[in-house]
Chain A
Amino acid sequence: MRFRFCGDLDCPDWVLAEISTLAKISSVKMKLLCAQVLKDLLAEGIDYDKVAKLTADAKFESGDMKASVAVLSFILSSAAKHNVDSESLSSELQQLGLPKEHTTGLCKSYEDKHTALQSKLRETSLRLGRLEAVSWRVDYTLSSSELRKVNEPTVQLKLQAQGAESGSTETTVVSISADKFRVLLTELKQAQAMMNVLQ
């Protein structure tokens, strides 16, 4: 059976198994659990004590607790990933056996945070070597050991970027003469114009 929220693929077996675990807690508690899981997905931190309290009534062991957090995480992030609207999500979850009240609660939470989730996922998408900071300085060289009167301006540019493989900040310092800098600026302005066309 193909499900849109799984990206038009079969639903994983573990999700099917854990949906029946989810059905054991009340729908009100499940809505609160969804709120906690959404906080975790939006990197606002999850409060595991609250989760433990919510699942205590249904006598969940730690394994069941982790499983329910995992399955909610999967459903919400996967639905946001494939841009599923909440009615389709609701009908697909009911097909998988999640009771109606639980499904409506889940889909309401999903709908509320849909855009926020998608922008968070967009932010965390793979990007190599993000530029973190740029600083510059213009110097005027008066004289040097080679020539007494140099009288040339130079730009010193410091780029702080994340290393592509390591992920830690790497600093590059370049000094550019006036002509070369003009070429660089023109080329970058052309690239910027092209990006604006696509925006």
Chain B
Amino acid sequence: MLLVLSDEYREHLVFLPKVEPAVVVEFGRIAVEFLKRGINPKIYEGAARKLNFPMETVQHGVEGLMFLLTESSKLMISELDFQDSVLVLGFSKELNQVLLQLYVDNRKEIRSILTQLAPCLPSYHNLEWRLDVQLARRSLRQQVVPMVTMRLLLATDGGNNTSRVLQTDPSTLLHLIATLETALAAMKTNHARRILRNIK
């Protein structure tokens, strides 16, 4: 699969052949750092001053490289496809090699960063429980009513935990346990095993 690179994008990268390959490698390293830790505009200013280019050009160049890396890592394109896509930009062979090396070295890490961008449903964090016996209330004395009170803590995106308080009697709790055990047992059916074997 080839990457489709728009004209505007090519314009952004047009200054890359004009600088030395060492500078392109440096830009590549900056691009990967930004992907890992977020953009730091001061670095653009420093690089622009050193190379005597306007800051916008430097910014476009680094962002262009970031886009190239994320798109190729996202689509997991082969090295051959990457080289063909980059050929379109009209860079020198040396520059293409540099870009290819950058892609291959950082592919795995960029993919792991991209997995963190997926939306995340609230997931189990902790369950606290308590077993009580209700002995009396205002309207009725001499009772014996067992109850299980639970607090379910869920972890959501952004690190906040939501909590839910639930109360149940022992027979419902047993039913709950039986349902969850059937769910676990579903992993051991032949159908599930066949699918897991094929994914591995």
A: residues with CB less than 8 A from B are 125-128, 164-167, 187, 191, 194, 198
Contact = CB atoms under 8 A, between A and B. Distances in A.
B38 to A, nearest CB: 26
Given A127-B130, A164-B165, 19 more contacts: A125-B130, A126-B128, A126-B149, A126-B150, A126-B151, A128-B149, A128-B151, A128-B165, A165-B163, A165-B164, A166-B163, A167-B163, A187-B138, A191-B136, A191-B138, A194-B135, A194-B136, A194-B141, A198-B135
B129 interface: yes
Contacts of A167: 163
A100 to B, nearest CB: 36
Interface string B135-169: 11010010000000111000000000001110000
B30 to A, nearest CB: 30
A191 B150 CA distance: 24
Q: Is the interface of A mostly helix, strand, loop or mixed?
A: loop
A127 B136 CA distance: 19
Contacts of A194: 135-136, 141
A191 B128 CA distance: 27
* Nearest 10 CB-CB pairings of A with B: A126-B130, A126-B128, A164-B165, A165-B165, A187-B138, A126-B151, A165-B163, A194-B136, A128-B165, A125-B130
B131 to A, nearest CB: 10
Interface in B102-135: 128-130, 135
Contacts of B150: 126
Contacts of B165: 128, 164-165
A126 B149 CA distance: 8
25 contacts: A125-B128, A125-B130, A126-B128, A126-B129, A126-B130, A126-B149, A126-B150, A126-B151, A127-B130, A128-B149, A128-B151, A128-B165, A164-B165, A165-B163, A165-B164, A165-B165, A166-B163, A167-B163, A187-B138, A191-B136, A191-B138, A194-B135, A194-B136, A194-B141, A198-B135
Interface string B157-200: 00000011100000000000000000000000000000000000
Nearest to B141: A194
A112 to B, nearest CB: 27
A126 to B, nearest CB: 4
Nearest to B161: A167
Contacts of B149: 126, 128
A85 B111 CA distance: 51
A193 to B, nearest CB: 11
A159 to B, nearest CB: 18
A164 B150 CA distance: 11
Nearest to A194: B136
A187 B137 CA distance: 10
B165 to A, nearest CB: 5
Nearest to B128: A126
A194 B138 CA distance: 11
Contacts of B164: 165
A176 B11 CA distance: 76
Nearest to A197: B135
A166 B162 CA distance: 8
Nearest to B138: A187
